[in-house]
A and B are shown apart, each in its own frame.
Chain A
């Protein structure tokens, strides 16, 4: 069974940094593209980033470009989202998702709150 588990969310001040992670199991992690998608509670889904299987090709939404960095450790079946220069508007639930013809299976999400 495919499982994705996000971790690392929490409260951070504006301008601060946070790294969240996603651990995959039940599939060959090193063979799949992965996405990060975020959602302000009560609002819609917003795509953040996509990374290829070996981590050499990463694309970002304009809203996070230059501030967020996605990476992966295939030996640990882990995906990471390093978030710097955080803004209040980055407050959201962050989901990782395995790509099969687009985001397919999703984790339960981790809440990141940016507030002073």
Chain B
């Protein structure tokens, strides 16, 4: 059902850099901004990145976002054990006339 495609999993050792991709289309990422959300098990999602690459106050600068064409990426630099969580991209879709979320990526710290 999700129109934004993410890899189901990503992993890295502490201190490594991990990148999560989010593939969309011209009707969503291609023409609208992208947000990224972090979600821990049993908890509500929290905003990690908004408007492609902006961090809300309190979000460490280890997290960064980028967008190119109809795709977006979230990078986690200096991976830490507390970064183990699910990550979702999201964007408005002009064709569906609604908000769409990515399929989600589970990040594991080895």
Q: Is the CB of B33 within 8 A of A106?
A: no
A51–B52 Cα distance when bound, in Å, is 23
A105–B102 Cα distance when bound, in Å, is 18
Q: Is the CB of A47 within 8 A of B100?
A: yes
| One of B9-17, B40-48, B65-73 at the interface | B40-48
Contacts of B102 in A (CB 8 A): 44
Q: How far is the CB of B71 from chain A (nearest CB, A)?
A: 18
- Which of B35, B44, B46 has a CB less than 8 Å from the CB of A101? B35
Contact with B along A86-108 (1 / 0, CB 8 A): 00000000010000111111111
Considering residues A37, A95, A107, which has the most beta carbons from chain B within 10 angstroms of its beta carbon?
A: A37
Q: Which residue of B lies closest to A106 (CB)?
A: B44
Q: Is the CB of B103 within 8 A of A44?
A: yes
Count of residues in B whose CB is under 8 Å from the partner chain: 27
Residues of A contacting B: mostly: strand
- Which of B35, B51, B56, B96 has a CB less than 8 Å from the CB of A103? B35
Q: A24 near B: Cβ within 8 Å?
A: no
Extra inter-chain contacts (20) besides given A45-B37, A63-B1, A95-B44, CB under 8 Å: A35-B99, A37-B99, A44-B2, A46-B101, A47-B98, A47-B99, A47-B100, A47-B101, A59-B98, A62-B96, A100-B50, A101-B33, A101-B50, A102-B50, A102-B92, A102-B99, A103-B35, A103-B37, A103-B90, A106-B45
